[in-house]
Amino acid sequence: MVNIADLIGRILISFVFLLSGFRKILNYEGTVDWMEGFGVPGILLTPTIILEILAPLLIIIGYKVRISAALLSIFCLATAIIFLNDFSNQIVAFSKNIALAGGFLFLVINGAKDFSIDNKFKK
């Protein structure tokens, strides 16, 4: 049961980033404009998309989970600070990013359970 819960948890925490990465592809120019409005160079969008798609897929399949989770935890903190710092309107979104960063830290500490490629390499 723990292994199934671990897999479901990895899927759920990853889903929002997969969705976000694909939405950024579909609205590439609009996302560049939005990022640049916060002073973030639009050139960073491509690596952002790669991170938001690749890291969640790795977490779901259970390969290099600790590294992927660490990168997403840092990403959550950075995006909260850069894009969600208007506490009069975005305190909930800011808090969700901070909470996601904490969830990813659990993965950094504990890794994935049996239903993972990382665990298969241990054996």
**In-domain check, residue 107:** yes
**In-domain check, residue 13:** yes
Evaluate if pTM is beyond 0.85.
Answer: yes
Q: In terms of pLDDT, which residue wins out, 96 or 119? A: 96
**In-domain check, residue 122:** no
Average confidence score pLDDT of the chain: 96
DSSP 29-91: HHHHHHHHHTT--GGGHHHHHHHHHHHHHHHHHTSSHHHHHHHHHHHHHHHHHHHS--HHHHH
Residue indicated by tokens 């992927």:
68
Helix (H) or strand (E) holding 103: helix 87-110
DSSP label of 1: -
What single-letter amino acid sits at 99? A
57-112 residue pLDDT tens? 999 999 999 999 999 999 999 999 999 999 989 999 999 999 999 999 999 999 99
**In-domain check, residue 39:** yes
**In-domain check, residue 121:** no
What is the domain count for the chain? Answer: 1
Mean pLDDT in residue range 19-44: 98
What single-letter amino acid sits at 120? K
Q: How far apart, in whole angstroms, are the C-alpha atoms of residue 56 and residue 7?
A: 12
The residue segments making up the domain with residue 75 are 2-112
What single-letter amino acid sits at 57? L
**In-domain check, residue 46:** yes
**In-domain check, residue 120:** no
Strand segments (E) across the chain: none
4-13 residue pLDDT tens? 999 999 999 9
**In-domain check, residue 78:** yes
